[in-house]
């Protein structure tokens, strides 16, 4: 049975996901960043995460060899997501960031940051699956995530009283 690509995409769009920007830096100081919603935890012991990157991703080799960081975006960072989802212009211009302990860029004001070394890279069809061994984390005390659902950005909305 053949799966229609459009119906497959429509079905996948029904799964709400958080939005991240995965970043890396080359030894010469060049920085790379890409918006990724295909991110998840993989293991607590050892601490592992996974990100799936399209094989056409610019600077793919930087992510494949690591280290890298996953910046989990705050609900007010839609502009950051859009910036790193396009190939136009200087993605880093006027963006507040700092180098993480592993050297990968950390974007300021995110909900959380997860620094990783590459544990392994797996084939995933038109994507590569990068398994990261977590070396450092940090998270904000409050705030809500930026979400992606049915091909659009969303937020959680107000928290109901008594929740």
Q: Which domains does the chain have, with CATH numbers?
A: 5-151 (2.30.110.10)
- What is the pLDDT confidence band of residue 162, given thresholds at 50, 70 and 90? low
**3-class SS of residue 138:** strand
Percent of the chain with pLDDT over 90: 90
DSSP code for 61: H
Instruction: Give the mean pLDDT of the chain.
Output: 94
Q: Rounded to the nearest 10 degrees, how much is the dihedral formed by the CA atoms of 155, 84, 12, 119?
A: -110
- What is the pLDDT confidence band of residue 87, given thresholds at 50, 70 and 90? confident
- From 54, 15, 12, select the one nearest 34 (Cα to Cα): 54
- From 76, 72, 75, 79, select the one nearest 111 (Cα to Cα): 72
What is the pLDDT averaged over residues 36-50? 97
The structure's pTM equals: 0.93
C-alpha angle 140-35-51 in degrees, rounded to nearest 5: 85
- What is the pLDDT confidence band of residue 11, given thresholds at 50, 70 and 90? very high
State the residue for tokens 């990261």. 132
* CA–CA distance, 97 with 91 (Å, rounded to integer): 12
Contacts of 83 (CB under 8 A, 6+ apart): 89, 91, 95
């Amino acid at each position: 049975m053949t799966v229609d690509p459009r119906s497959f995409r429509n079905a996948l769009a029904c799964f709400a996901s958080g939005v991240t920007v995965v970043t890396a830096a080359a030894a010469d100081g060049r920085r790379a960043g890409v918006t990724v919603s295909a991110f998840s935890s993989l293991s607590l012991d050892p601490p592992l995460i996974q990100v799936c990157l399209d094989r056409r991703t610019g600077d793919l080799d930087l992510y494949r060899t690591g280290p890298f960081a996953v910046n989990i975006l705050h609900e007010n960072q839609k502009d950051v997501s859009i910036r790193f989802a396009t190939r136009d212009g200087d993605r880093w211009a006027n963006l507040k960031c700092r180098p993480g302990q592993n050297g990968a860029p950390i974007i300021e004001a995110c909900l959380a940051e997860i620094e990783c070394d590459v544990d392994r890279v797996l084939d995933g069809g038109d994507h590569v699956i990068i398994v990261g061994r977590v070396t450092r984390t940090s998270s904000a005390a409050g705030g809500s995530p930026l979400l992606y659902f049915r091909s659009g950005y969303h937020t959680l909305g107000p928290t109901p009283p008594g929740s």
